[in-house]
Amino acid sequence: MKKLTKEDIQFIDRYLSNSGIHYEDVKIELIDHVASAIECRMNNGDERTFYYVFKEYMIENKALLEKQGKPYQWKTLKSVLKMFISNLFSIKSLIGGLLLFIGLWFFNNFLYEKYTFTALSISWTLFIISIIPFVKLRKKKYSFIGNLLLFDALLYYLGFCFLDTVEYNSTAFYIALCMLSLFCATSFKTMSYLITFYKKRFQLI
Amino acid sequence: MSNSKLYKGSLNTIILKLLEESDKMYGYEITQKVKEITKGELNITEGALYPALHKLEAEGLLDVEMQKVDNRVRKYYKLTEKGTKETANRLSELEEYIRTMQTIINPKWSIS
């Protein structure tokens, strides 16, 4: 029974990374799929070395594999969206959003009364949430986290567009700020859940 | 997958049925099992299989187990309790569908 060596597996890993498949959760499954297919061919009478069998397999299947590795996929984004919505009105998100809003309101009214500062505070919070996975997961990328970051970016862009249209310190301004604070807290909760989930699932690596 | 439009709607049920018969299976194993059972008539591609598996997992019908096998990590899928119940439902739905199709396509040979 022929089995691929550690070097062969690393070669497949590098090849898939160079083909734009960067998410670990997607790549791990594809590495095993490609390796199993190559081993099957080698055990069914193909006497060539790993490189030639791999090359032939890739000519036949590369397009399909690359399709799997697309960074943003509607199905993944939809699942992330569902998760985000179910977290939106959880007690933790509501309390976190409220505390963030009170903090921003306090800064805005008593310490530094400037629209730019308030708006930037939300950006900083978003920035902190975005770098958590890079710190916690040692730069490894995962599909749900990548799609959550994309969703966050869209949400905050729309939020700021709205903040721009309302009068500074008006009721609408504070409602928008309150909503953005809630989104920040929900994003943090969803991100924490995903990091724990991926860390637990991929602890073998 | 050959005859893709006809088979597409049954892919999830096929996966559930295979997993019902085995304790756990990984992606490539599922494609090969289908190929073997159908004598090469049905060929499930990676592009169809993995999104279907991920969807079933997200619906809570499948559970996942990671194992280190031959210098790489392998993701095994197995049915959850909810998945086992859903398999029975979907199989009876599929059987009903086949019976209905049979009465339309070949009325003389239909059971009822």
Please name the member of B27, B46, B55 whose beta carbon is closest to the beta carbon of A64.
B46
Contact indicator for A143, A23 with CB cutoff of 8 Å = yes
- The more confident residue out of B13 and A104 is B13
Low-confidence ranges of chain A (pLDDT < 50): none
Would you give the distance in Å from CA B16 to the centre of its chain?
A: 5
User: Do the Cβ atoms of A61 and B51 come within 8 Å?
Assistant: no
Please name the member of B29, B58, B72 whose beta carbon is closest to the beta carbon of A35.
B72
User: Do the Cβ atoms of A61 and B73 come within 8 Å?
Assistant: no
- In chain B, what residues touch A67 (CB-CB under 8 Å)? 47
User: Do the Cβ atoms of A32 and B75 come within 8 Å?
Assistant: yes
Mutate to test the interface with B, among A32, A76, A83 (most CBs of B within 10 A): A32
Which residues of chain A are at the B interface, by a Cβ-Cβ cutoff of 8 Å? 3-6, 8-9, 28-33, 35-37, 39-40, 61, 64-65, 67-68, 75, 79, 201-202, 204-205
User: Do the Cβ atoms of B66 and A5 come within 8 Å?
Assistant: no
ipTM: 0.84
Distances (CA, A) of A185 to A74, A119, A169, B18: 24, 16, 22, 42
Contact indicator for A101, A177 with CB cutoff of 8 Å = yes
CATH class of the structural domain B5-105: mainly alpha
Q: What is the pLDDT at residue A111?
A: 63
Q: Vertex A61, ends B77 and A71: CA angle to 5°?
A: 65
Alpha-helical segments (H) within A19-142: 24-43, 50-68, 74-88, 91-106, 115-136
Give the count of beta carbons closer than 10 Å to the beta carbon of residue A163.
20
Q: Residues A13-18: contacts with CB within 8 Å, 24+ apart? A: A15/A54, A15/A58, A16/A65, A16/A69
The stretch B7-35 carries a mean pLDDT of 91
Q: Where are the domains of chain B?
A: 5-105
CA distance B54 to chain A (A): 9
Contact indicator for B46, B1 with CB cutoff of 8 Å = no
Give CA–CA dist B58/A182, Å, rounded.
Answer: 25
Q: What is the pLDDT at residue A113?
A: 59
Euclidean distance between the first and final Cα of chain B, in Å?
32
Give the model confidence (pLDDT) of B27-84 as tens digits. 999 999 999 998 888 888 888 898 899 889 988 999 999 999 988 999 999 999 999 9
Instruction: Output b/e per residue, B45-56; b: 16+ Cβ within 10 A.
Output: ebbbbbbbbbbb
Q: What is the pLDDT at residue B73?
A: 93
Nearest-by-CA chain A residue for B76: A29
| pLDDT above 60: residue B1 | no
Contact indicator for B19, B79 with CB cutoff of 8 Å = yes
Q: Vertex A154, ends A198 and A26: CA angle to 5°?
A: 30
Q: Residues A99-108: contacts with CB within 8 Å, 24+ apart? A: A99/A185, A100/A125, A100/A181, A100/A184, A100/A185, A101/A177, A101/A178, A101/A181, A101/A182, A104/A177, A104/A181, A105/A174, A105/A177, A108/A169
Give the model confidence (pLDDT) of A65-119 as tens digits. 888 777 777 888 888 899 999 999 899 999 999 998 888 887 777 766 566 666 6
Tokens of residue B29, six digits: 């194993």
